[in-house]
Amino acid sequence: MKMTFRWYGESDPISLTDIKQIPGMTGVVTAVYSVPVGEVWSNEAIERLKALSNDSGLEMEVIESVPVHEDIKLGLPTRDRYIEAYCENVRRLAAHGVKCICYNFMPVFDWLRTDLHSRNADGSNSLSYDHKAITSLDPKKLSLPGWDESYTPEQISSLIGAYSGMSHDDLFANLVYFLKAVIPVCDEVGMNMAIHPDDPPWDIFGLPRIISHREDYIRLFEAVPSKANGITFCTGSLGADSSNDLVSMAYEFAKDGRIHFAHLRNIIYTGERSFAETGHLSADGSLDLYEIVKALHDGGFNGYVRPDHGRNIWGEDGKPGYGLYDRALGAAYLNGLFEAVEKADSKRG
């Protein structure tokens, strides 16, 4: 396991020095943010991120994300040029020592919450999701927390419209088309693709979502068998649907060599299809992080891990989910869990 931390590049208020001071931190998870989705990243921009990270004693072996252009998800004729650009990014990143790319295939929104500063009893705040609040919104006039800067309500409405009539199978076929072009390049250059699950794992505004349950993964691996076709095991996303058995999925997919990256965090169920993000500790939420870490370990997981969304604590007003303090506490806790399960195993063994 390699413990990493998401870093939003040079505009991130959290410095690489702060990140390096977190015990056990080996690397950053980052991206080139200045290039529009679908274009090729310059070698200079990649090189600069790598040099900054390495100069601070951190590796840059995971990129999150190389985003997938909507035309690819929509299966438009223009997709081939965007897929070619994607393949070029894979080659360039591999040439700079990147080993894993986290991406997603969710139409329009790659995560959704109804509140970015939900007040907790201890005075902290965190992200939360209330499905009733979502269903009461008019998709033609959407203004959503966290998305107002990326899209105008008109843009959201027309993008959602572009997906009308698209079935789950259509979207899945578009994902397979994409992977059949990208995975051979990954095999050639030694890159792992790690698809992020749907967050939350159900359809929203009639948009199909296809990476939400165990069966979705089985179908994905059958369609593109190379182990480079792997996953980002995100407990907070998958765990929002309590029918997902995270412990058995962690074990099964780790054993199959499919988990290249793990986002580990906790949530608490607050109602039907509703949840709030909590601190990472098992006791603080509905997910048993100890059992999940143990299952990953028992399955032979040896990929990258990062603490995921944290709360705002100690007066911090961080980027929602991505402040320093609670994620650092999360990393320390996860390091402890991994050390405990690893040592218990080697003593038995």
Binding residues vs ligand DNO (CB under 6 A) = 64-65, 102-104, 110-111, 196, 321
Are the CB atoms for 198 and 73 separated by under 8 Å?
no
Query: Is 176 or 340 the residue whose CB approaches ligand DNO more closely?
Result: 176
The residues pairing with 2 across neighbouring beta strands, listed in sequence order, are: 304
For the bound state, the minimum distance from the C-beta of residue 322 to ligand DNO, rounded and expressed in Å, comes to 7
For the bound state, the minimum distance from the C-beta of residue 130 to ligand DNO, rounded and expressed in Å, comes to 18
Query: Is 104 or 274 the residue whose CB approaches ligand DNO more closely?
Result: 104
Report d(CA 60, CA 93) in Å as an integer: 10
What amino acid positions are annotated as catalytic residues? 196, 234, 263, 308-309, 322
Query: Is 330 or 341 the residue whose CB approaches ligand DNO more closely?
Result: 330
Residues 6+ apart with CB under 8 A from 306: 3, 4, 5, 6, 29, 62, 261, 262, 263, 264, 331
Of 105, 277, 108, residue with least CA distance to 194: 105
Ranges of H-type helices in 25-78? 43-55, 70-74
Which residue's beta carbon is nearest to the bound ligand DNO? 65
For the bound state, the minimum distance from the C-beta of residue 238 to ligand DNO, rounded and expressed in Å, comes to 12
Q: Judge residue 157's burial from the number of C-beta atoms within 10 Å of its C-beta, 0-12 exposed, 13-18 middle, 19 or more buried.
A: middle
Peptide bond into 65 cis (omega under 30): yes
Query: Is 110 or 291 the residue whose CB approaches ligand DNO more closely?
Result: 110
Query: Is 196 or 297 the residue whose CB approaches ligand DNO more closely?
Result: 196
For the bound state, the minimum distance from the C-beta of residue 199 to ligand DNO, rounded and expressed in Å, comes to 6
What angle do helix axes 325-348 and 289-298 make, rounded to 10 degrees?
50
For the bound state, the minimum distance from the C-beta of residue 287 to ligand DNO, rounded and expressed in Å, comes to 16
3-state DSSP assignment of residue 277 = strand
Of 266, 324, 270, residue with least CA distance to 293: 266
DSSP state of 283: G
